[in-house]
């Protein structure tokens, strides 16, 4: 499930939680968005800043505003992690394998959907990379457990 970042009036969809979200609102669900209780003027500004939308002067009511905005958020494509600004010291983009490992090393781990969105691979390719590359080739301990987010994968520290 994407995470939507609202910074000023710009909305950015992320496959995973962004590392730098200072001065930004992070939303995972429509219910979180409803609870924000943003002023109507701000909701209109967010709507007018969305790409491809028709600018408006006002919404009929808050419920309509939240419903229409959330539907527009869901059409946004998640930002890719290996963008031009995310390069290593030698100027190369990080590998997709490195992206997988960094997501799996997070304390909260990563779901299959997050890994698919980050790499752009098919789900069966991600599962193959987890089994063949992460577990067998690199020898990393990988845990898999069901949670409220779905199946969550994470790299666990080996016992000494």
| Residue 90 resides in a domain | no
Q: Does residue 78 fall inside a structural domain? A: no
pLDDT in tens, 83-124: 444 555 555 666 888 888 888 988 888 999 989 888 889 999
Check whether 34 has a pLDDT greater than 80.
yes
- Percentage of residues in the chain with pLDDT exceeding 70? 86
Same domain, 10 and 64: yes
In a domain, 87, yes or no: no
Residue ending a domain, among 42, 73, 104, is 73
pLDDT at 85: 46
Last residue of a domain, one of 20, 39, 73: 73
Domain-embedded: residue 89:
no
Clarify whether residues 47 and 102 are in a common domain.
no
Q: In whole angstroms, what is the distance from residue 143 CA to residue 156 CA?
A: 7
- Provide the 3-class DSSP secondary structure of residue 101: helix
Average pLDDT over residues 29-41: 89
Backbone angles phi, psi at 3, to 5 degrees: -115, 130
Among the candidates 12, 40, 73, a domain finishes at: 73
Taking 60 as the threshold, does the pLDDT of residue 29 lie above it?
yes
62 and 11 in a single domain? The answer is: yes
Contact (Cβ atoms closer than 8 angstroms) between residue 59 and residue 40: yes
Sign for the CA dihedral angle at 74, 130, 126, 103 comes to positive
pTM given for the model: 0.49
* CATH code, domain with 147: 1.10.10
- Residue 28: which domain range? 3-73
What mean pLDDT, rounded, does the chain reach? Answer: 83
Question: What does the alpha-carbon distance between residue 46 and residue 7 come to, in Å, rounded to a whole number?
Answer: 10
Q: Can you tell me the mean pLDDT for 68-84?
A: 74
Does residue 68 sit in the same domain as residue 102? no
How many domains does the chain divide into?
Answer: 2
Query: Regarding predicted confidence, which is higher, 104 or 15?
Result: 104
CB 142 within 8 A of CB 130: yes
């Amino acid at each position: 499930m994407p995470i939507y970042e609202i910074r000023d009036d710009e909305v950015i969809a992320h496959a995973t939680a962004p590392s730098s979200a200072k001065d930004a609102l992070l939303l995972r669900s429509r219910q979180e968005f409803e609870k924000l209780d943003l002023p109507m003027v701000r909701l209109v500004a967010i709507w007018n800043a969305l790409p491809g939308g028709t600018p408006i002067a006002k919404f009929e009511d808050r419920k309509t505003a939240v419903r229409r905005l959330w539907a527009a958020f869901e059409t946004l494509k998640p930002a890719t992690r290996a963008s031009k600004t995310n390069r290593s010291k030698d100027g190369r983009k990080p590998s997709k394998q490195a992206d997988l490992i960094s997501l799996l090393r997070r304390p909260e781990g990563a779901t299959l959907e997050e890994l698919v969105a980050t790499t752009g691979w098919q789900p069966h390719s991600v599962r193959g990379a987890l089994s063949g590359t992460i577990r067998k080739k690199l020898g990393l301990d990988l845990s898999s457990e069901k949670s409220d987010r779905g199946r969550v994968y994470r790299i666990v520290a080996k016992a000494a």
